[in-house]
Structure 1
Amino acid sequence: MITPDSIPNVTDERLCWLVLRDELRKRSSKLGMFGWISVFTSRGAAGAEIGADERRERLSEKMTYYSIAVDASAQTLSPDERRHLRTTAQVPEWFRPDVQRRYEEIRKRR
């Protein structure tokens, strides 16, 4: 977790990602209907391993989409919002919904 006392010397886009990464990982790792189906239908160790591999692959794909969305949203930050980000390690109120909107758009295109 990034705090105002531990803000690394990285780009604003990267800082936005570091601020949101853990939250987005939790959101991405929630099992959807397909995830629960794969958990219940896997038989034995081999089936469980295949199901786990599929879940990891989906998590990685979701996090990639989120990283693209965060980067795109961060590029629209105003100079004042960038200063606020740099001093508080917090993104503006509009940022999370904008990232989610962009994430959904990316998923629809893929």
Structure 2
Amino acid sequence: MTRTVPNLPDERLCWLAVRDQVNRKARRRGVLGWLTALFRPRDSWEGNERAEDAADLRRETASGKLHKYAFAVDIVAETLTAAERAHLRATGEVPPHFLAEVERRVAERKKR
């Protein structure tokens, strides 16, 4: 079955190919997130406000992580070879090493 790939820039096609995986990684809770979820008071009004504040904080954190991933995807997309770009255009899939390189770029940027 032939897949129809929209006529978009390669950077955008790369983002569309990896966005579900990146979204899962960006929304992953850390230790503090799990502790907040496990030990928040469920009955009091103040507890509900704190839970809403924690949810807002998680969304802001995820949004910031998504920005870092989007930047890294654009950088790595520029390094694709002509054959990898042709494969991307034909199938809508990135090469196997693509996500690992994106992760490396995100970690490198995080260190700075």
> TM-score, length-normalised on structure 2?
0.87
Asked if 1:16 corresponds to 2:14, the answer is yes
> May I ask how many residue pairs the two structures share in their alignment?
107
> Which structure 1 residue ranges, 4+ long, deviate > 3 Å from structure 2?
40-43
Asked if 1:83 corresponds to 2:86, the answer is yes
* Coordinate RMSD, CA, aligned: 1.6
Q: Name structure 2 gaps, 5 residues minimum.
A: 42-46
Question: Are 1:13 and 1:70, in contact at CA under 8 Å, matched by a contact in 2?
Answer: yes
The structure with more radius of gyration: 2
Instruction: Point out the more displaced range, 25-34 or 15-24.
Output: 25-34
Counterpart residue type for residue 109 of structure 2: I
Selected match of 1:26 from 24, 27, 42: 24
1:31-70 to structure 2, matched below 5 A, reads 31-43=29-41, 44-70=47-73
The sequence identity of aligned pairs, in percent, is: 43
Paired with 1:19 and 1:100, the residues of 2 have a C-alpha distance of 15
Paired with 2:53 and 2:83, the residues of 1 have a C-alpha distance of 48
Selected match of 2:106 from 77, 81, 103: 103
Counterpart residue type for residue 38 of structure 1: T
Paired with 1:55 and 1:107, the residues of 2 have a C-alpha distance of 18
1:77 is paired with a residue of what secondary structure?
Answer: coil
Paired with 2:5 and 2:68, the residues of 1 have a C-alpha distance of 24
Paired with 2:110 and 2:55, the residues of 1 have a C-alpha distance of 21
Paired with 2:97 and 2:33, the residues of 1 have a C-alpha distance of 30
1:6 is paired with a residue of what secondary structure?
Answer: coil
Q: Name structure 1 gaps, 5 residues minimum.
A: none
Counterpart residue type for residue 50 of structure 1: D
